[in-house]
Amino acid sequence: MTELTVAALQLALNAPDAATNIAAVTTLVEQAAAKGAQVVLPPELFSGAYFCQQEDQELFALAHPLDQDPAVAAMRKLARGLRIAIPVSFFERDGHHFYNTIAMVDPDGEVQGIYRKSHIPDGPGYEEKFYFRPGNTGFKVWDVFGARIGVGICWDQWYPECARAMALMGAQVLFYPTAIGTEPQDAELDTSRMWRRAMQGHAVSNCMPVVAANRIGIEANGQSFYGHSFITNEWGDFQAEYGAEETGVLVATFDLATARINRAGMGFFRDRRPQLYTRLVEDK
């Protein structure tokens, strides 16, 4: 298969119970599948409000093991019924450890494996280091519908190393579930343009499509999530995009064979000089 149809979901996820949020995502997943989407991307941690705005140990109760998480269970059933793939973001409990995790659900409703978020932010409104250990899986890619996809999680998307690593592992499309919005410490700082430009850069420098799904709406402490979900082609051009308020499904179809030829023609991977990049892995 040379074509792949992808979707990004955008919606508010501030209902007080997980079942309502999961049901809202389910409705949009069904709409995406009806439009022909094969890989459908919900936002980050979509079973509830973004709880990392503050440090509260009671919120560790929201975490579940992979085989007990309600969002993963619901999306497995949905993927199997619709014959689609879904990268499912959830708060994982693994023994005494807690992670921000993707369960990659395939069209049979099986979990191909997990990816644990590598880059963990720590700042006003995004106190994730209190809740999550840095991921220990390394970057991951997945084979679905004859294509290979890479999935990062939110803060990962600001790092070109993450995108390039997945590309070097054979990814043909990059997916980023996200929860990002206003900066509580600076009401004048709007990162939505930078956020999209960073990922457009990944699309251009790796010559492959990028799919980003973000939430919308006002949540705890008045923090507003700014949406602007999008899908770009391998040139970084928007194929579908939302603003800050729309609820719905973005869909685009890509000819991956053409993208592969374009990628070869640009020469970015041919002209790499890994022997010059050792500074990138020095921890200082």
Does residue 44 carry a catalytic annotation? yes
What's residue 140's pLDDT?
Answer: 97
Greatest extent of the chain over all pairs of C-alpha atoms, in Å: 53
DSSP string, 31-98: HHHHTT-SEEEPPTTTTSS-GGGS--GGGGGG-B-GGG-HHHHHHHHHHHHHT-BEEEEEEEEETTEE
Catalytic hit among 44, 92, 128, 234: 44
Catalytic hit among 92, 128, 154, 207: 154
Q: Per-residue pLDDT averaged across 184-197, rounded?
A: 92
Q: Per-residue pLDDT averaged across 139-165, rounded?
A: 98
Share of the chain above pLDDT 70, in %: 100
Question: From the CB of residue 29, how many other CB atoms can be counted at a distance below 10 Å?
Answer: 24
**pLDDT band of 29, cuts 50, 70, 90:** very high
Q: Per-residue pLDDT averaged across 180-207, rounded?
A: 94
What's residue 221's pLDDT?
Answer: 77
Catalytic hit among 117, 128, 140, 219: 117
What's residue 187's pLDDT?
Answer: 85
Tens-place pLDDT, residues 68-124: 999 999 999 999 999 999 999 999 999 999 999 999 999 999 999 999 999 999 999
Q: Per-residue pLDDT averaged across 136-149, rounded?
A: 98
Does residue 140 carry a catalytic annotation? no
Q: Are the CB atoms for 241 and 216 separated by under 8 Å?
A: no
Q: Does the predicted TM-score (pTM) go above 0.95?
A: yes
Least confident of 59-63, 89-93, 108-112, 221-225: 221-225
**pLDDT over 90 (residue 276):** yes
**pLDDT band of 1, cuts 50, 70, 90:** low
Does residue 117 carry a catalytic annotation? yes
Share of the chain above pLDDT 90, in %: 95
Residues with Cβ within 8 Å of 146's Cβ and at least 6 positions away in sequence, in order, are 1, 4
